[in-house]
A and B are shown apart, each in its own frame.
Chain A
């Protein structure tokens, strides 16, 4: 069947819990742009123009419904003066944490004049350039790390958990500082042309902290932060679980939740019905070895579990396709969405 909507219309329809012409799908490809351009990962992310060209080529190739201006998580750490370690066959990681002790928290201030910080400037430029190219036809998804998840990279995971349990005052101070940065950074991307902001908050996942702790921490932080972001937001658990907290997530003001392959998609759909749109949940790590037939099977399964009635965007479950996933697999995923994702889902009704 002919597709009648732009990607933007398709996504907005899904978000209003209606069926579009086809199930929208976000292929959240980042490093694959470097492959397309024949550049190393480090070179690719060194210039906004590379990422723009990569995103345009990837969307042409895979026919998905968004552009994604996520470079890599440690980019935000560069804004605080932290260091990034590149790797030839995977995403960059943070080097040693820049907050060396709890007392360092007393003295940090959020970075200011974000557009003057080279790492952030690249992302803002890429956003603006993409916006010039696609206007309002394709959503441009910007990314922030939540104020509550960022400290893992600022101070290391172990010390952050200890801070959360044992140093409530310093924890509160760190959240205040991070909230300022996060809100500014999200709003700068929206001003540059991003359509929506994906708020990565896996530390709020019940995989990492208990619901009881979440209600006192990540939940309150998200409510304060999201209400100050001047555009639509999606919350991503980066493949951490979320079922026990879906009601709370919707109370934070987010419209979308990125869900894990570790949870049942049909059950998630029931729990989120009319409240949150689901984004997920193909297993990106397993995807590396999928055959075309397996890709098709997985896509059909996800459609059967969650696509009816809208409120679903097909995607991987982490918010980033690993470098090791071959192009053929991504092509097979795309082919399957275009074949089986046309609404109405007649093949599903027949079953």
Chain B
């Protein structure tokens, strides 16, 4: 298993699609797709995320590697597969922010990790609140790059509270990495320093939801 994780990490970082395919093929007779995703893909992506935070892996590698991984995982675990995780209803968006890269990375990595989620694109405060209510979301992921956008999450939180919406808000993006208390200040339930951290955080949130 350890070897599989190492090989997958290397293949993803060198953006070697063929090597990734081979690793998946070599593992498939022995482990189920879901187990492969949970025990190999998620671990490899988590390592890559941590190495980005330490400064030894670049964002471009994460983005390109994440796309390869998402596509190949889709092949072994199709979007509607019953094996996909039993999970709360969730979606991701950017808020009054036109920068999409963070959102795309998180979306790909979550899908590559076996989750399903909706992509709302870039929304205003009012729009987010309405979508959350309409869709009955349990987890809302928000990615922002600009500080004013980060500060507006507070309004989203207040409006959702006022309408008794029981949704967990997970935030991420550059402003949160530079001010480690910002997520608390704006009333988020959690923040992630890198995209792969979202997997662990969502699992934790699920435990809380299921009591």
Contacts and interface: CB of A to CB of B under 8 A. Distances in A.
Interface of A: 85, 87, 89-91, 93-96, 156-158, 161-162, 164-165, 206-210, 213, 239, 241, 243-244, 261-263, 283-286, 288-289, 322-324
B113 interface: no
Nearest to A286: B179
B60 A209 contact: yes
Contacts of A94: 98
A324 B147 CA distance: 9
Contacts of B177: 262
A89 B146 CA distance: 11
Q: Is the interface of A mostly helix, strand, loop or mixed?
A: loop
Contacts of A89: 148
Interface of B: 15, 52, 55, 57-61, 63-64, 97-101, 104, 146-148, 151, 174-175, 177-179, 181-182
B146 A285 contact: no
14 contacts: A91-B146, A94-B98, A156-B100, A162-B64, A165-B15, A207-B59, A208-B58, A209-B59, A210-B60, A239-B174, A285-B147, A285-B182, A289-B179, A324-B148
A244 B179 contact: no
B98 A208 contact: no
Contacts of A261: 178
A262 B52 CA distance: 12
A285 B179 contact: yes
Q: Is the interface of B mostly helix, strand, loop or mixed?
A: helix
A36 to B, nearest CB: 20
A157 B148 CA distance: 20
A213 B13 CA distance: 12
A324 B178 contact: no
Given A161-B63, A283-B178, A286-B178, A213 B58 contact: yes
B147 A93 contact: no
Nearest to B96: A87
Given A85-B98, A324-B147, A165 B60 contact: yes
B148 A323 contact: yes
Contacts of A87: 148
Contact of B55 (A241, A289, A324): A241
A162 B57 CA distance: 17
B151 A285 contact: no
A95 B60 contact: no
